Structure 1
Amino acid sequence: MFCVKHNAQEGLPQIRFLNVKPNDSFDYSIVLVRGEILNYTHRRHRHGLSSVQIVNENIEGSIESAEIASDGKFKVAVELAPGVNQLKFRFCCATHGISLIFDKRKNPRYLLRILYIICSNHDGHFQAPCDAETTVERACEKIDLAIRLVQCLYAEMLTKHGFDRKSFEFIGCKPFHSSISVEEARQWDQNQLWQHHAKEILAQESTEHRFKYFGILASTLCENGMVKGHAALGIGDVALFGSGTLYAWPTNFATIQRCFQDETPVDTNQLMDDSNGKNTYGGCFATALGSICHEIGHIFDLGHTTDGIMGNDIDYVNRIFTVENCPRDLPRRMASKCASDRNADDKLNQSNRRLTTIRKTNSILTNYHCRRNDDLTFLTENCAILLNSHKWFNQFAEHANESCIRCDIQQKIIKSSLPLVLVEFRSKQNGMCMKYYRFDVTTSTPTMTSNVSSLRFTIPSDVIEQNYDLIAVDKNGNIMKC
């Protein structure tokens, strides 16, 4: 095929997919496609040819665009319709099609419920520039879209450890009316907000153990640079997050990429800026998604880690979905005082709750991220192992989850009726993972200990001396904490 933009020496461009293959199946509707343009150089294609066009023939009006990095790589979020989707990727004279399947789980047993929490004397509008629509309906649209992106994020993070793509199922956002006034909510800290709203949610919603809850607070307000009624906290079965940056979130799929790349500066006197120094709408959206992943991770039984989405790296979610040819250097975040992994009922009675707080560190770390050749959004190995077996990430048969894991501290023994996949020890002070043992179920051997069956684990003496929290997970997602 002849192309006027190329000569015989250059070679014709070709499109190759890096993370998907024909007829790959997904049980969530927004998927990430990564690929590369062979025979591409930035110099040759700088004249208006720096992006790939994507059409999903199963969705009317579906036309997406993905910027190409200087090395020819590209990445793009693609929306799938139920069933087989025919996708066409086009660059210059090259076209490549692929079929991807969206097959949603049938009758999932374990679900995440999404709630938009509205105070008793409040109409539920969220704070945004004066020309924006801030209704409850608009808020729920934005929240549902964000959760669909979080589904994709978790699945992609699992694949980095060699696991199949897995994610959770959720029930679409609905208003939840609280008994407290908006004035009260804006006087409370996130600990008080969580205590009150968690009690309300667990009392009014289903008491079945197959539900977890993620609530967005309509009460969040930025006034003269001061943020009120905000929370970013996940404990037990309930996670809360403030609506302060909802103005920067996309409302529909077509605006996702634009929102990630939105360089509009935030008026910090009128709007909340949580972007780790980017001070842009796009930075706020990326950080919000990272924070949501972090807090939902806690209610999916994850503790804190030094790095990754459960630690410091919550601000760079945009790099998962978009190309950054000129990434900026930003300070690293630090997580401290982890939200506890104990049951919510136990925590409701504790006054001195351990919280998740995020703060910026000294500028000496500004070059930290640019030294790492990664998109900077990832799960550490122990977190990935836990989620790979987690009940919310799998479709187990109704009685397949029955198991018994017992811990005898005096005898220094953990016994399980099903093979263990992970034993983890976390600091009681901050919930940080201090040590973990992963089991290969096929060989029944943990990576850090020899001659130990995956049905029986000997607790190291130094762990008992340190008085760590102990978490054990079996292959069917049953979790014991002691």
Structure 2
Amino acid sequence: MANPNAAIASNSDSAIQVENHETGSEVQYSVVLLRGTVPSENDAPMTIVNKNAPAGANEVKVLTDGKRFKALVELSEGKNAIQLKHGSAPATELVLTYKPQNNPHYVRLIWMTDQSGETDFAAPDDSVTQDYANRLRTAALLMQTFTAERMKDLGYGPRTFALEHDESGQVVVHTWKGDEDKQDYYAQADNNRWWQQVRRWINNEHPDRLAKNVVLAAYTRKDPRTGKMLGHTALGGANLGLFGSASVFCWPRDIQSAMDVFQDNAAVDATHVHDDSAFRGTIWALASTTIGATLHETGHAMGLPHCTDNMGIMTRGFDHFHRVFTFADPPSNQNKQTRKFSPEQEAYFSPVSASFLRWSPWFQLNAATTESSGRSRSRPSVEVDEEAQLVRIKSDSGIPWIGFHSKDRIETFREYGSHDAGADDHPKTIDLTFDQIQDMKPGTDIRRIVVVDSNGASRNVSLPQTAS
């Protein structure tokens, strides 16, 4: 997808061009994706060095495709002077300041064992390192970066969710014991009670109303006798995204190895592990689908329904999560040769999803929102008047967004006023006739509307059958 807000690190035609970050700008997430071009297409190596890289950061891995490049760069808090060099072209310096969010709402990462406390995850053989915390931490950072970059591409700025950090700046991964044996969890999964039980466990044992919880079950296994998956799911809603850990063995262990993982066309041994790669049967595809699915279910926990955009994260677009970081699909069971894709074929949060996230409390980068402004925290009022065939919407803080839903997915949306929190151009009242609502997407039966106010408070209302 072309970036309407692309910024240039250097304006010289003979210099390296960074398309998606402007020197001197500030970001509020710790891993940036750099996209850009080099002056000429040749075999000279490209290097990117952050002179202020955090301790323990690996050498930056740069992917190139002709004159284009992509790279993930880890940032230290404060100023980061990033030098980009390609062949004999003049070096470009990109200066970015990383300022951690102080939004109290955050995503909490949890590695859940059964009551035994056993932390090992399923793996095809003993050569796989059992470093679950690094793999979950890296996946979360990739999801955070993906979200920021795609929100910015749609004009909402580099807006993303916060992760929990310790005093050293490391992303926290909690390792907590569940209160039941794995066999009990397996039985609950069979009867679709597992998600509800884990949510009760989280809310009772580890309550935090400011957290959206990403929980991976360490005890997911493939039954060698039947081939059936035990303790496997991907389900999200309310404050919980719950996932099996069957594919964690292929997740990158650190940020720089992500580029290698997303190009690894080694076959998945489905006799020992679960192949959830959308029939592509390779490591790169398995990592892409399952990290993408984790973001998909986290989206549900943020309040997002499914949408209709084939490349949207809230559809099967999550199969193509890797494409934001690469230039081509490596060979797989579905493409015997490397297959390049266009920017329009990269996964993203589609506009109907991104516009909702813009107003979510989990996407306000700083705490200086409702709490410090003294503005009303009450939810918007939505009244359905069947006699008048009218929906009346009111909010003292203003109404920036309304979504229009069919049975189980969002079909379209409307934005009102600017994208800025605290703006005075969001209407306080909106009246919509039943006919106007149905005309939002002709030929689609709109059954529900969701209203979000400028404080991020929401209310959803079902429409009567007479509205269709």
TM-score, normalized by length of structure 1? 0.79
Partner in structure 2 of residue 313 of structure 1: 317
Partner in structure 2 of residue 407 of structure 1: 382
Partner in structure 1 of residue 3 of structure 2: none
- 2:71 corresponds to 1:101: no
Structure 1 distance, partners of 2:375, 2:92, is 42
Q: Is the 8 A contact 1:111 1:392 kept in 2?
A: yes
Shift of 1:198: 0.7
Moved more, 169-178 or 302-311: 169-178
Shift of 1:453: 7.5
Shift of 1:397: 4.6
Partner in structure 1 of residue 48 of structure 2: 54
Structure 1 residues 212 and 96: CA distance shift in structure 2, 3 A: same
- 2:227 corresponds to 1:223: no
Residue number among 61, 67, 83 corresponding to 1:88 in the alignment: 83
Alignment of 1:79-478 (within 5 A): 79-94=74-89, 95-106=91-102, 108-121=103-116, 123-132=118-127, 135=130, 138-171=131-164, 172-187=172-187, 188-189=189-190, 191-206=192-207, 208-224=208-224, 225-307=227-309, 308-324=312-328, 373-394=343-364, 395=366, 396-398=369-371, 399-400=374-375, 402-410=377-385, 412-428=391-407, 431-441=408-418, 454-462=427-435, 463=437, 468-478=447-457
Moved more, 263-272 or 126-135: 126-135
- Aligned-pair identity in percent equals 24
TM-score, normalized by length of structure 2? 0.82
Q: Deviation digits for residues 234-284 of structure 1, max 9, x if unmatched?
A: 111111111110000111223221111112211001011111122111111
Q: Deviation digits for residues 364-394 of structure 1, max 9, x if unmatched?
A: xx9xx97864242112212111111211111
Structure 2 distance, partners of 1:119, 1:216, is 11
Amino acid in structure 1 at the alignment position of 2:65: A
Shift of 1:324: 1.8
Structure 1 distance, partners of 2:264, 2:128, is 18
Shift of 1:401: 6.0
Q: Deviation digits for residues 291-319 of structure 1, max 9, x if unmatched?
A: 11111111111111112111120111211
Structure 2 distance, partners of 1:77, 1:427, is 38
Q: Is the 8 A contact 1:127 1:134 kept in 2?
A: no
Shift of 1:328: 7.2
Which 5+ residue runs of structure 1 have no aligned equivalent? 1-10, 332-365, 444-451
Amino acid in structure 2 at the alignment position of 1:310: M
Which 5+ residue runs of structure 2 have no aligned equivalent? 1-11, 165-171, 439-443, 462-468
Shift of 1:413: 0.9
Q: Is the 8 A contact 1:190 1:229 kept in 2?
A: no
Structure 1 residues 64 and 181: CA distance shift in structure 2, 3 A: same
Structure 1 distance, partners of 2:457, 2:174, is 29
Structure 2 distance, partners of 1:275, 1:98, is 37
Shift of 1:134: 5.4
Structure 2 distance, partners of 1:128, 1:218, is 11
Structure 1 residues 130 and 374: CA distance shift in structure 2, 3 A: same
Q: Is the 8 A contact 2:392 2:431 kept in 1?
A: yes
Structure 1 residues 131 and 31: CA distance shift in structure 2, 3 A: same
Shift of 1:460: 3.4
Q: Deviation digits for residues 47-84 of structure 1, max 9, x if unmatched?
A: xx3x52111112366422312213x1111111111111
Shift of 1:458: 2.2
Partner in structure 1 of residue 459 of structure 2: 480
Q: Deviation digits for residues 166-218 of structure 1, max 9, x if unmatched?
A: 11112221012112211122232383210110111111122x53222111111
Q: Deviation digits for residues 64-121 of structure 1, max 9, x if unmatched?
A: 2312213x11111111111111111121112222111111023x22122211111113
Q: Is the 8 A contact 2:328 2:340 kept in 1?
A: no
Amino acid in structure 2 at the alignment position of 1:53: T
Structure 2 distance, partners of 1:375, 1:139, is 31
Q: Is the 8 A contact 2:105 2:211 kept in 1?
A: yes
Structure 1 residues 300 and 454: CA distance shift in structure 2, 3 A: same
Q: Is the 8 A contact 1:117 1:176 kept in 2?
A: yes
Q: Is the 8 A contact 1:319 1:376 kept in 2?
A: yes
Please provide the CA RMSD for this pair: 2.8
Amino acid in structure 2 at the alignment position of 1:90: K
Structure 1 distance, partners of 2:85, 2:434, is 60
Q: Is the 8 A contact 1:119 1:181 kept in 2?
A: yes
Structure 1 residues 203 and 233: CA distance shift in structure 2, 3 A: same
Amino acid in structure 2 at the alignment position of 1:408: E
Amino acid in structure 2 at the alignment position of 1:170: L
Partner in structure 2 of residue 8 of structure 1: none
Structure 2 distance, partners of 1:147, 1:325, is 22
Amino acid in structure 2 at the alignment position of 1:277: F
Shift of 1:229: 0.7
Q: Is the 8 A contact 2:116 2:177 kept in 1?
A: no
The secondary structure found in structure 2 opposite 1:14 is coil
